[in-house]
């Protein structure tokens, strides 16, 4: 029987199923049509995102100083042009990329800049002393690096070849703050590197390198990691010989907790590996084992390390006077909770609240600042954007055509998801404070660059997924 059927709705190819094999191979012609609808949808959403950002900055100025300042709006327009430039790059280099990711990132980034600028007004900061101006500069740098990532990484599978190099880079970046002379301790955590001209947090880039390594490693090792072990209480546990990787990553996470005094980064690295391990093997026993290891290590650290013990004490007894007045105690947490309560359902309005009375309101507690002036409704809208961004990342992983791409997409999306959960959970006292930054919103160049690289990689992965031709054959 001979029939003719188009290969894919997006592929301009026709295959003669009754032709001989050689003739059939020669007759397949694949012409991928540029999906203009996707990019046009992205352009529409991007213009809306730029409009939301501009409106937020204007409302901040009207609410805080009672007039519009064209200078800061001009800076914002420049960032909008850079976002449109990235859209043009996507039309050329990744026409099949997901149309929602870039507008979501621009909206979150813009809202963060608006709130940081609002805090600068309250604290009287101007020029390069202003966190808002520096955040705009870092946004421009981060978006330029994201564009460069799209231009350099034309096929995500190339990254799998360099998985061990990514491992070395990730470990090197993780240990870099420990070097004498350049390592810098800020707020009790040794996570920063000071190069004189500027300082940055190498662990932010390191998490992306480790995600690449974990994806590449688990693709090759998942068969042995998936082998059935003993059954205990109805759950199949892994064999003893397969525990090496998770123990190594656990030791590394505990080392970060002990020597760099950072609970958040430790949780992020170990949680990233644990989730990717579960996705690769589909074994719940790895999750139970991993969580038991981390919770046990954290509880021991809370009893032996004053830094971790203070975090737990401030969490469990936030309103106790001794914790509230202690150095590094619960004062910041309580002030943030009062700010959220003051915002209520619809908020005080941009520029109308008092978010500046919370320590580190522009970074660690920017969620509390936004919650006070945008209210619960505004916070739910921001959380909705995060949920949509993470869902698009998981969707890319689900639809992936190769195992490395699937694991990498899930890992990158989970980095964003875990950071949001840990930060908002800490601010709302669901879990102890960890010191992680809110993606795209919080002040900080290192975090901003890392998150925009994640956006670029997700866009590249989504383009590859949609670009794959699929032959559909009917009998």
Q: Which of 251, 165, 218, 266 has its CA nearest to residue 411? A: 218
Residue 189, phi then psi, degrees to nearest 5: -110, 135
How many H helices and E strands in the chain?
17, 7
| Residue 293, token pair as written in the block | 């290891």
Q: Which of 258, 221, 224 has its CA nearest to residue 238? A: 224
CA angle 390, 395, 401 (to 5 degrees): 135
Residues in the chain: 475
Output the pLDDT for position 225.
67
Distance CA 407, CA 421 (A): 20
**Distant-in-sequence, close-in-space partners of 445: CB < 8 Å, separation ≥ 6:** 134, 138, 141, 142, 198, 200
Positions of the chain with pLDDT under 50: 1-34, 470-475
What's the N-to-C CA distance of the chain in angstroms?
9
Rg (CA), the chain: 24
Q: Largest Cα–Cα distance in the chain? A: 84
CA angle 219, 224, 229 (to 5 degrees): 140
Distance CA 354, CA 361 (A): 10
With H, G, I as helix, E, B as strand and everything else as coil, classify residue 227.
Answer: coil
Output the pLDDT for position 384.
96
Torsion angle, CA of 201/86/108/414, rounded to 10 degrees? -60
Distances (CA, A) of 120 to 44, 123, 125, 361: 31, 5, 5, 10
| Residue 48, token pair as written in the block | 């809306």
What is the DSSP track for 230-292?
A: -EETTEEPPPGGG-HHHHHHHHHHHHHHHHS--HHHHHHHHHHHHHHHHHHH--HHHHHHHHH
pLDDT digits (tens, 9 = 90+) for 27-58: 444 444 446 788 999 999 999 999 999 999 99
Task: Provide the 10 A C-beta neighbour count for residue 432.
Answer: 21
Distance CA 242, CA 240 (A): 5
């Amino acid at each position: 029987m001979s029939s003719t059927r188009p290969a894919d709705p997006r592929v301009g190819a026709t295959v003669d199923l009754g032709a001989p094999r050689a003739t059939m191979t020669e007759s397949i012609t694949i012409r991928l049509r540029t999906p203009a609808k996707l990019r046009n949808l992205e352009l529409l959403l991007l213009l809306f995102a730029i409009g939301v950002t501009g409106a937020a900055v204007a409302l901040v100025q009207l609410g805080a100083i009672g007039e519009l300042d064209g200078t800061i709006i001009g800076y914002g327009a420049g960032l909008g042009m850079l976002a449109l430039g990235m859209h043009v790059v996507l039309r050329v280099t990744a026409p099949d990329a997901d149309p929602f990711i870039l507008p979501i990132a621009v909206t979150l980034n813009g809202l963060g800049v608006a709130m940081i600028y609002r805090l600068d007004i309250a604290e009287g900061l101007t020029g390069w002393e202003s966190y808002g101006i520096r955040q705009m500069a870092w946004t421009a740098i981060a978006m330029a690096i994201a564009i460069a990532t799209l231009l350099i990484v034309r096929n995500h599978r190339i990254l799998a070849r360099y998985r061990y190099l990514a491992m070395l880079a990730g470990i090197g970046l993780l240990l870099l703050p420990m070097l004498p002379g350049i390592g810098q301790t800020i707020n009790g955590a040794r996570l920063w590197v000071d190069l004189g001209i500027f300082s940055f947090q190498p662990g932010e880039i390191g998490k992306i390198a480790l995600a690449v390594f974990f994806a590449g490693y688990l693709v090759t090792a998942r068969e042995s990691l998936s082998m059935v072990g003993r059954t205990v209480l109805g759950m199949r546990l892994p064999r003893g010989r397969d525990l090496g990787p998770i123990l190594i990553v656990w030791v590394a996470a505990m080392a970060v907790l002990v020597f760099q005094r950072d609970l958040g980064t430790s949780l992020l690295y170990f949680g990233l590996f644990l989730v990717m391990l579960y996705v690769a093997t589909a074994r719940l026993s790895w999750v139970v084992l991993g969580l038991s290891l981390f919770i046990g290590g954290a509880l021991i650290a809370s009893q032996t390390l004053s830094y971790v013990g203070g975090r737990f004490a401030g969490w469990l007894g936030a309103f106790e006077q001794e914790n509230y007045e202690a150095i590094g105690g619960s004062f910041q947490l309580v002030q943030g909770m009062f700010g959220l309560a003051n915002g209520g359902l619809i908020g005080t309005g941009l520029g109308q609240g008092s978010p500046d009375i919370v320590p580190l309101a522009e970074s660690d507690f920017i969620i509390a600042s936004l919650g006070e002036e945008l209210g619960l409704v505004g916070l739910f809208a921001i959380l909705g954007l995060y949920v949509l961004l993470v869902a698009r990342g998981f969707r890319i992983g689900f639809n992936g055509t190769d195992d490395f791409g699937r694991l990498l997409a899930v890992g990158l999306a989970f980095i964003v998801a875990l950071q949001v959960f840990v930060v908002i959970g800490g601010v709302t006292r669901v879990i102890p404070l960890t010191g992680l930054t809110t993606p795209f919103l919080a002040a900080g160049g290192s975090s901003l660059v890392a998150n925009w690289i994640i956006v670029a990689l997700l866009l590249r992965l989504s383009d590859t997924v949609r670009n794959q031709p699929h032959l559909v054959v009917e009998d």
